[in-house]
Structure 1
Amino acid sequence: MQKFISSFQNQAIKRVLQLQEKSRARKKEQAFVVEGQREISLAIKGGYELRELYYTADLFPAENVKNLLSSVSSPVAITEISSEVYQKIAYRGSTEGVLAVVGSRELSLQKLTFKTKNPLILVAEAPEKPGNIGALLRTADAAAVDAVLIANPRTDLFNPNIIRSSVGCLFTNQIATGSTSKIIAFLKEQKIAIFGAALQASVPYHTANFTGRSAIVVGTEATGLSQQWLENTSQNIIIPMEGVIDSMNVSVAAGILIFEAKRQRR
């Protein structure tokens, strides 16, 4: 039987808030919150396990719930909540009236599978800002790269800010996380050339050859790539700067490099 909740003090509502706000709660429960019809649809399409759905009929009619869950075969606990409760637990300003609790996934290198013999991979070392991570995932989706690897992650990838800023591309990309040393070992084992975006011993990015098995590695705007990456790259590449400043946003730089690789591969 479907429940209706109108109290902020309800334990289920408090739990959803914990999952929204605390990485520790997400890790303990192996679950996270996804807001919005498009993002929930992408999570379903990406094979994530939908456990619970909360909606307010004022913004998201019951018929929409039925349509949203039409392709889900496993049972989902559906709860209608008042619009006041929804406003309390919704993370985003632009409200759609629906959110879900979704089972998280182990993002391990061992689970990566490449559909092509000539993969193109984006690697980001220690990205910290959720907005940058979300933008990197959007760029990776736009270019249909084979995988996104996050080395030495500093932020929980199931953070609601990442889901929001990636507009659901967390679910459309193949993602793995690991230490820098493990990712380097993985790339070498897979015979994937490592192109590091760096100032040292670098060539202009458009002169590098990305037509083979390639990984493009970007670091943080503040410190760039760590010494460990610089010692293990096949080639360092640089985007020549023609203005006054000497760096650009990491997601913008990644977009330029990835789409140059895509251009060469055509």
Structure 2
Amino acid sequence: MPPERITSLQNPRVKQLVKLRDRRPRDEAGVFLVEGYREVRRALEKKVALQELYFAPDWFLGENEPALIAEAEAAGARLFELSKDAFAKVAYRERPDGLLAVAPQWRRALSDLVLPPEPFLLVVEAIEKPGNLGTILRSADAAGCHAVIVCDPVTDIFNPNVVRASTGVLFSVPLVVEESANVLQWLREKGVKTVATTPSATAPYSDTDLRGPMAVIMGSEQYGLSEFWLKNSDFPVRIPMAGQADSLNVAMATIITLFEAVRQRAAR
């Protein structure tokens, strides 16, 4: 069957897509939005069962979109063609590229993680900004982290800006949301040492052994790590600051620390 065509901004599906920008409607429906060619492509590569795919040829940026649409349809997604104005209504990007999918949410537990003998993990606590969380996921993927654990979340991992900032890496990095106390107990049971980044530490991150089973612990943008993690982590470390600034953006600090670990682990 040809895709259903939607031109009216008052169409119920258009209204529902707009609602899915907010967390409560997403959670009630058990779905989230995936916008963009690269993001939809990565979802399909990871066998995410897209429920619906909305597309608007007037917004396409290249020539590969029809093949991606056909692939999504073959994988079970229901197709809807939108007019240029209707797609602009549902898109959350300033300059959309004409592809928007609806995907099912998932829940993964710590017990679901399959780790190597010397896991390299990232734990983030109470990250507030969706863009930062997405960038952190992207960085963890680039560094080869075996999993990312989000503790006591402030930002919904299915926020559209998390998906966007992660460039679809949300689908490839094993991701768990859990309370800090449960995460600490699990890490200890697994024999994973914890390295907490904090400006109050005396040891530079580059002078600390980041090899072996290890989890880097990063805190929120505004408050840093909670007292819980500062008291219970094995190795507090700091990133030396030469200027007047006393801290870095949490996503940037995460990149610096992760890639020092990558350097050390590769050198071994």
1:149 aligned counterpart, secondary structure: strand
How many residues were matched structurally? 264
2:115 is the counterpart of 1:148:
no
The answer on 1:112 being equivalent to 2:113 is yes
Structure 1 23/97 Cα, relative in aligned 2: closer, same or farther at 3 Å? same
> Please, which runs of 5 or more residues in structure 2 have no aligned partner?
none
For 2:235, the equivalent position in structure 1 comes to 235
Amino acid at match of 1:124: V
Q: 1:13-162 alignment to 2 at 5 Å?
A: 13-20=14-21, 22-60=22-60, 64-70=65-71, 73-114=74-115, 116-162=116-162
Relative to structure 1, the CA distance from residue 53 to residue 72 in structure 2 (aligned partners, 3 Å threshold; closer, same or farther) is closer
Distance 1:202-1:66 versus aligned 2 partners, 3 A rule: same
State the identity as a percent: 36
Distance change >3 Å, CA 248–CA 84, structure 1 → 2 = same
RMSD: 1.8
Distance in 1, matches of 2:16 and 2:36, equals: 19
Contact residue 121 and residue 216 of structure 1 kept, 8 A: yes
Q: Which amino acid aligns with 1:223?
A: Y
For the residue of structure 1 that corresponds to 2:108, the secondary structure is coil
Deviations 1:53-102 (A, max 9, x none): 11112234997334344277542110111111001111101211111111
Measure, in 2, the Cα distance between the counterparts of 1:18 and 1:71.
23
Cα distance in 1, alignment partners of residues 160 and 5 from structure 2:
24
- The answer (yes or no) to whether the contact 1:41–1:68 under 8 Å persists in 2 is no
Q: Distance in 2 between matches of 1:79 and 1:229?
A: 47
Are the counterparts in 1 of residues 163 and 170 from structure 2 also a CA contact under 8 Å? yes
Taking the aligned partners of 2:176 and 2:228, their CA distance within structure 1 comes to 19
Measured after TM superposition, the shift of residue 165 of structure 1 is 1.6
Deviation of 1:128 (Å): 0.5
8 Å CA contact 1:6–1:84 kept in 2: the answer is yes
Per the alignment, residue 248 of structure 1 pairs with 248
Distance in 2 (alpha carbons) for counterparts of 1:106 and 1:133: 17
Say if 2:53 and 2:72, in contact at 8 Å, map to a contact too. Answer: no
Equivalent AA in structure 2 for residue 135 of structure 1:
T
Letter in 2 for 1:108: A
Please report how far the alpha carbon of residue 15 of structure 1 lies from its aligned counterpart in structure 2 after TM superposition. 1.1
Tell me how far apart the structure 1 counterparts of residues 28 and 185 of structure 2 sit (CA, whole Å): 29
Match of 2:4 in 1: 3
Q: Is the 8 A contact 1:221 1:247 kept in 2?
A: no
Q: CA deviation at 1:108?
A: 2.5
Deviation at 1:200, TM superposition (A): 4.1
Give the 3 Å change call, closer, same or farther, for CA 95–201 of structure 1 in structure 2.
closer
1:17 CA displacement:
1.1
Contact 2:198–2:225 under 8 Å retained in 1: yes
Deviations 1:1-55 (A, max 9, x none): 32111111211111111112x1011111110111111100111222322000111
Report Cα offsets for 1:163-207 as digits up to 9, x if no partner.
112222212211111111111111111110000112445411111
User: In structure 2, the residue corresponding to 1:139 is in which secondary structure?
Assistant: helix
**Alignment-derived partner of residue 184 in structure 1:** 184
Judged with a 3 Å threshold, the aligned counterparts in structure 2 of structure 1 residues 190 and 202 are, in CA distance, closer, same or farther, namely farther
Q: Describe the superposition over 1:229-265 as per-residue Cα deviations: whole angstroms up to 9, x where unpaired.
A: 1121111111111111211111111111111111111
Whether the 8 Å CA contact 2:127–2:221 is kept in 1: the answer is: no
Task: Confirm or deny: 8 A CA contact 1:125 1:152 kept in the other structure.
Answer: yes
Question: In structure 2, do the counterparts of structure 1 residues 71 and 99 end up closer, same or farther at CA, with 3 Å as the change threshold?
Answer: closer
Helix, strand or coil at the partner of 2:232: coil
User: Per the alignment, do residues 194 and 11 of structure 1 end up closer, same or farther by CA in structure 2, a change over 3 Å counting?
Assistant: same
**Higher deviation after alignment, 163-172 or 63-72:** 63-72
